[in-house]
Amino acid sequence: MDHALIEHLRADLVAARFTVDALGARWGAEADAALERGNRLPALRALAGDDSPLAVLATLFVLGMPVSASAASTALQNVTLTGASDLGLCEVRGDSVVARIDLRPYDFLDGQGAVSWWIASDLGELATGRALRTDHVLGVGGASLTLSGLLIPDPVDTVLDLGTGCGIQAMHASRWARRVVATDISPRALHFAELNAALNGIGNIEFRHGSLFEPVRGERFDRIVSNPPFVITPRSAQVPEYEYRDGGMVGDALVEAVVSGARDHLVDGGIAQLLGNWEYRADPPGLGTDGLQRAAGWADAAGLDAWIIERERQDPAQYAETWIRDGGTRQGTEEFERLCCAWLDDFAARGVTGVGFGFILLRRREAAAARCMRLERLDAPLGRGTAGLGSHLASAVAADDWQAARDDDEVLAARLIVAGDVTEERSHWPGEPDPSVLLLRQGGGFRRELRVGTELAAIVGACDGELSLGAIVVAVAELLELDLAELRRATVAEARDLLVDGILLVGSGG
Is 341 domain-assigned? no
DSSP per-residue string spanning 408-474: HHHHHHS-EEE-TTEEEEEE--TT-SS-SEEEEEESSTT--EEEE-HHHHHHHHT-BSSS-HHHHHH
Work out the number of other CB atoms within 10 angstroms of the CB of residue 49. 5
CA gyration radius, the chain: 26
- Domain at 395, CATH number: 3.40.50.150
Same domain, 130 and 159: yes
Spatial neighbors of 318 by CB under 8 A, at least 6 apart, are none
Instruction: Please give the full DSSP string across 251-291, using - where no structure is assigned.
Output: TTHHHHHHHHHHGGGEEEEEEEEEEEEEEEE-PSTTT-B-H
Q: Indicate whether 330 belongs to any domain.
A: no
Secondary structure class of 138 (helix, strand, coil) = coil
pTM of the model: 0.91
Contact 302, 399 (CB under 8 A): no
CA distance 466 to 453: 23
Instruction: Look up residue 189 and give its amino acid.
Output: A
List the beta strands (DSSP E) in 195-265.
205-209, 221-226
Same domain for 91 and 131, yes or no, is: no
Q: Which helix (H) or strand (E) holds 313?
A: strand 305-314
Q: Residues 144, 168: contact at Cβ < 8 Å?
A: yes
Judgement on whether residues 207 and 173 belong to the same structural domain of the protein: yes
Q: Quick check: is 424 in a domain?
A: yes
Nearest to 148 by CA among 382, 400, 446: 382
Hey, what amino acid is at 151?
A: L
Helix 253-262 vs helix 291-302: angle between axes, to the nearest 10 degrees? Answer: 30
Residue 280 and residue 387 in one domain: yes
Number of domains forming the structure of the chain: 3
Q: Parallel, antiparallel, or unpaired: how do β-strands 113-121 and 156-162 relate?
A: unpaired
The answer to whether residues 422 and 281 belong to one domain is no
Q: Which of 100, 125, 141 is the last residue of a domain?
A: 100
Identify the domain containing residue 479 by its residue range. Answer: 404-506
202 and 309: one domain?
A: yes
Tell me the residue ranges of DSSP E strands in 90-176.
90-93, 96-99, 102-110, 113-121, 156-162
Residue 321 resides in a domain: no
Task: Note whether 166 and 68 are same-domain residues.
Answer: no
Could you tell me if 381 and 415 lie in one domain?
no
Same-domain pairing of 469 and 446:
yes
Compute CA 482 distance to the chain's CA centroid, rounded to the nearest angstrom.
44
CATH at residue 486: 3.90.930
Q: CB-based contacts of 209: which residues, under 8 Å, 6+ apart?
A: 183, 184, 185, 187, 190, 215
381 and 494 belong to one structural domain: no
User: Cα–Cα–Cα angle for 77, 78, 80, nearest 5°?
Assistant: 60
**Does residue 168 belong to any structural domain of this protein?**
yes
DSSP bridge pairs for 374: 307
Tens of each residue's pLDDT in the chain, 510 residues = 899 999 999 999 999 999 999 999 999 999 999 998 889 999 999 999 999 999 999 999 999 999 999 999 999 999 999 999 999 999 999 999 999 999 999 998 887 888 999 999 999 887 777 777 888 899 998 889 999 999 999 999 999 999 999 999 999 999 999 999 999 999 999 999 999 999 999 999 999 999 999 999 999 999 999 999 889 999 888 888 888 888 888 889 999 999 999 999 999 999 999 999 999 998 766 556 899 999 999 999 999 999 999 999 999 999 999 988 887 788 888 889 999 999 999 999 999 999 999 999 999 998 766 678 899 988 766 644 455 689 999 999 999 999 988 999 999 999 999 999 999 888 878 877 777 788 999 988 888 889 999 999 999 999 999 999 999 999 999 999 999 999 999 999 999 999 999 999 998 766
Q: Is residue 368 part of a domain?
A: yes
Residue 337 lies inside a defined structural domain of this protein: no
Task: Write down which residue in 338, 366, 401 finishes a domain.
Answer: 401
Residue 343 lies in a domain: no
Domain boundary among 57, 76, 100: 100
All residues at 6 or more sequence positions from 260 whose CB lies less than 8 Å from its CB, including other chains: 298, 301, 302
Query: Strand, helix or coil at 187?
Result: helix
Are residue 207 and residue 59 in the same domain, yes or no?
no
Closest of 362, 259, 359 to residue 309, by C-alpha: 359
Pure H helices in 89-174:
125-128, 142-150, 168-173
249 shares a domain with 307: yes
- C-alpha to C-alpha distance for 327 and 337, rounded to whole angstroms: 14
